[in-house]
């Protein structure tokens, strides 16, 4: 298991990578939004070679890799994801993703609205400081 100190170090490394990347020219990634009764599905598309740091999710969500592949680092693990993978990410998930083959990645969230700004405010935390400490220590 990952210790609290290791998780904090990895969290800081991902945040540091994001800060460095924000000062660089940005690549184009695509987000397509799908809605059904009470469900919001965000489809993320990126090209091979893209390095992306994802947003900080407040809640768990279902993830589906439709096509492509990527190396993924979180505070807890390193993964290689490929087409057909389905998994649940825990609350507080923030990822550094290196796309190794053009990817289509879905995240599935409950939604009471189709307003993207409202969804962003509800589903995404601005920083780890905006999450309850117990969430960040879960599953140690």
pLDDT in tens, 61-113: 999 999 999 999 998 889 999 999 999 999 989 999 999 999 999 999 999 99
CA distance 12 to 7: 9
Give percent of the chain with pLDDT exceeding 70.
94
Question: Which of 125, 130, 66 has the alpha carbon at shortest distance from 94?
Answer: 125
**95 vs 8 pLDDT, higher one:** 95
Kind plus residue range of the DSSP H or E element containing 108: strand 96-110
Distance CA 123, CA 125 (A): 7
pLDDT at 137: 58
Residue 140 has pLDDT above 50, yes or no: no
Q: What is the mean pLDDT of the chain?
A: 92
**What integer is the mean pLDDT of 44-71?**
96
Cβ–Cβ under 8 Å, residues 105 and 61 = no
Round to whole Å and give the CA distance between 75 and 3.
10
| pTM of the complete model | 0.88
Q: Does the pLDDT value for residue 139 go beyond 60?
A: no
Reduced to 3 states, what is the DSSP secondary structure of residue 40? strand
Q: What letter does residue 128 receive in the DSSP assignment?
A: G
Mean of the pLDDT values across residues 11-20? 92
Pairwise CA distance, residues 112 & 115, whole Å: 9
């Amino acid at each position: 298991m990952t210790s609290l100190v290791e998780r904090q170090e990895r969290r800081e490394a991902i945040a540091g990578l994001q800060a460095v990347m924000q000062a660089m020219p940005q690549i184009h990634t695509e987000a397509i939004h799908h809605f059904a009764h009470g469900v919001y599905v965000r489809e993320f598309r990126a090209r091979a070679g893209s390095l992306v740091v994802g947003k900080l999710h407040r809640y768990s969500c279902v993830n589906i890799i439709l096509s492509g592949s990527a190396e993924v680092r979180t505070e807890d693990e390193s993964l290689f994801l490929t087409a057909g993978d389905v998994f649940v990410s825990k609350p507080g998930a923030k990822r550094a993703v290196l796309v190794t083959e053009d990817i289509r990645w879905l995240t599935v969230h409950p939604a009471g609205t189709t307003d993207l700004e409202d969804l962003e405010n509800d589903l995404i935390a601005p920083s780890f400081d905006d999450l309850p400490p117990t969430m960040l220590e879960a599953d140690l």
